[in-house]
Structure 1
Amino acid sequence: MFNLTRIVWGLLMAAAVVIIALIDQFFINFIIFAILLFLAFYEAKKLFSLENASIIPLILAFILGTMVFKPLFLGILVALLVLGYQVYKKSNLKVVLIYLYPSLPILALWQVYLDRGMFALFWLILIVASCDSAAYFIGKLIGKTPFSPTSPNKTLEGVIGGLVFATFFGTLIGVFVYGFWLSLLCSFCAAFMAVIGDLLESYFKREAGVKDSGDLIPGHGGILDRIDAVIIAAFAMVAFL
């Protein structure tokens, strides 16, 4: 019934996240995010059939944005500049897509860390992970109603169960720092956005005719398959914290 490989690798990734959070060394986190941005960008290039898209503008936005603590806003600027250039050349605007997704969401996740520190970042990951895990197990156990044609393997029962559990669990963790109402709001909105992030990635994969965005992580697929929910959920933290 359950995918053992997925569970084992999920636990390994969870352990890695905990260790990184405990170390919380800025340079290490910087390198990790740079690698995530690089790998996700190249997975997206294949997903969107945009092999000629350059990562250099995003790397500059990531580095310069980190120096002034505004990577998300510089990422938006890069996307607008690419858009302007494509319009000027009367070229295909599809290339702008890769500078919007997954680029901006990853920069939003980095923005959460720069603005609010490791606790907020770790809290966000816990919310999303609890939502995904609860939805997976509840869906497997009692799920019967299809949730969306975009992601036919998900059930409505699983999604609702994941949202409820993530909101409860996230509030329980966040209340010690941000208070009850803000923790409740952030937890629910982050979990809700995580569902959207998962659907968005599923939509892109279906349009590309592939099952996974990559094969880097056994049982999980590629980097985008694993971080799709958390990078979209990051916008909730940027908005409310």
Structure 2
Amino acid sequence: MLKSRVITALILIPLVIAALFMLPPLPFAIMIVAVCMLAAWEWGQLAGLNSASQRITLAIVCGAALAALYWPIYTSSLPLLAHPVVTGFLLAALGWWCLALLLVLFYPTSARLWKHSYLLRLMFGVLTIIPFFWGMLALRQYGFQENNYTGAWWLLYVMFLVWGADSGAYAFGRLLGKHKLAPKVSPGKTLEGLVGGLATSALIAWLFSLYVPLHISLNTLLICSGLAVLASVLGDLTESMFKREAGIKDSGHLIPGHGGVLDRIDSLTAAVPVFACLVFLVF
């Protein structure tokens, strides 16, 4: 298992970084649509859609909806963040993850409100996947007219932030972890691990502010980064909560050694839109 995880990571990480810096806006958007369709396919299982035809339909509807929303914006002369559809979904992400925090904090009691409703679980999927799509595009296309790589650095930063915080949380949790963070949702996570992840993210923010052209004050970057890391932990816990209710360990088996697409992007589905919303709309 560990060997396949490492091999897969060594293959995927360079491909992801290359896509960030080399793909123009439209091909990049198409790639993210494909990722979101795979995520929707897997979310269908969390929502209780057990037949393959239902889940395929959900993935197709997701892709068609994202394409229909994106095309008028792509052909418009206005910047991405000037469109109310984009800003609306980014702001909706803040509301959704605040609600998700309550669902996690009061689990399993909170599950009584939604576990028997296909509609609610599908709506939770919409609020997870679509803001993630717009957050990825908003970060990638930021400053694109002046410098094609500005947005790529922003996205790379958020990814390194989440990956680094996750690794820091794992290391600190293994060494010092004693107090469970959310034992009813994910027994392996600890408060000590959370503090270690936040400390690691602060170090990454400081290093990026020194050597990468993000053009943002360190204080603002630290605030946005800290909140994004907290959101990433919440994204992980929320998916774990839905998987626990669905009675499954992994959301899928598409990525060898890593489970499904949702298992790999669960933290990013929260961190990316929250970070984009804080940087672009709040600060």
Any idea what the Cα deviations from partners look like across 1:42-88, whole Å, max 9, x if unmatched?
00011211337644554344224334135645769xxxxxxxxxxxx
Show the counterpart of 1:201.
Answer: 239
CA shift, 1:154, in A, is 1.7
Pairwise CA RMSD: 2.6
Q: Is the 8 A contact 2:37 2:62 kept in 1?
A: no
TM-score scaled by structure 2?
A: 0.70
3-state SS in 1 of match to 2:141: helix
Q: Greater shift after overlay, 138-147 or 153-162?
A: 138-147
Q: Per-residue CA shift, 1:192-215, capped at 9, x if unaligned?
A: 111111111111111111001001
Q: Which moves more between the two structures, 100-109 or 43-52?
A: 100-109
Match of 1:101 in 2: 128
Corresponding residue number in structure 2 for 1:147: 181
Query: Whole-Å Cα distance in 2 between the matches of residues 227 and 202 of structure 1?
Result: 13
Letter in 2 for 1:38: M
> Percent of pairs identical after alignment?
31
CA distance in 2, matches of 1:7, 1:101: 27
Within-5 A mapping of 1:6-17: 6-17=5-16
User: 2-side partners of 1:19 and 1:210: how far apart?
Assistant: 33
Between the aligned partners of 2:223 and 2:89, the Cα distance in structure 1 is: 26
- Inter-partner Cα distance in structure 1 for 2:8 and 2:176: 24
Q: Distance in 1 between matches of 2:128 and 2:275?
A: 18
User: Could you tell me which residue of structure 1 aligns to residue 29 of structure 2?
Assistant: 30
Give 1:48-87 correspondences, 5 Å limit.
48-50=47-49, 51=54, 54-55=58-59, 58-67=62-71, 68=73, 69=80, 70=83, 72=86
Q: Which residue of 1 aligns with 2:102?
A: none
Indicate whether 1:158 and 2:193 are aligned: yes
Pairing 1:110–2:137 present: yes
CA distance in 1 between partners of 2:223 and 2:191 (Å): 22
**2:255 paired with 1:211:** no
Contact 2:48–2:118 at 8 Å: present in 1 too?
A: no
CA distance in 2, matches of 1:55, 1:165: 35
Distance 1:92 1:36, change over 3 A: closer
Tell me the secondary structure at the aligned position of residue 152 of structure 1: strand
SS in 2 for 1:101: helix
AA aligned opposite 1:169: I
> CA 1:199 to 1:185, structure 2 compared with 1: closer, same or farther past 3 Å?
same
Using the size of structure 1 for normalisation, the TM-score is: 0.81
User: How far 1:133 sits from its partner (Å)?
Assistant: 1.5
Amino acid at match of 1:124: V
Aligned residue pairs: how many?
226
CA distance in 1, matches of 2:118, 2:240: 23
**Matches of 1:11 and 1:185 in 2, distance apart?**
31
- Structure 1: which 5+ residue stretches go unaligned? 77-90
- Structure 1 segment 113-132 matched on structure 2, within 5 A: 113-115=140-142, 117-132=151-166
* Distance across 1 between alignment mates of 2:63 and 2:87: 13
State the distance in 2 between where 1:210 and 1:146 align.
22
How far did residue 219 of structure 1 move?
Answer: 2.2
Query: 1:44–1:102: 8 Å Cα contact kept in structure 2?
Result: no
Partner of 2:110: none
Residues 196, 7 of structure 1: CA spacing in aligned structure 2 closer, same or farther, 3 A cutoff? same
Change (3 A) 1:226 1:75: same
SS in 2 for 1:49: coil
Partner SS state of residue 187, structure 2: strand
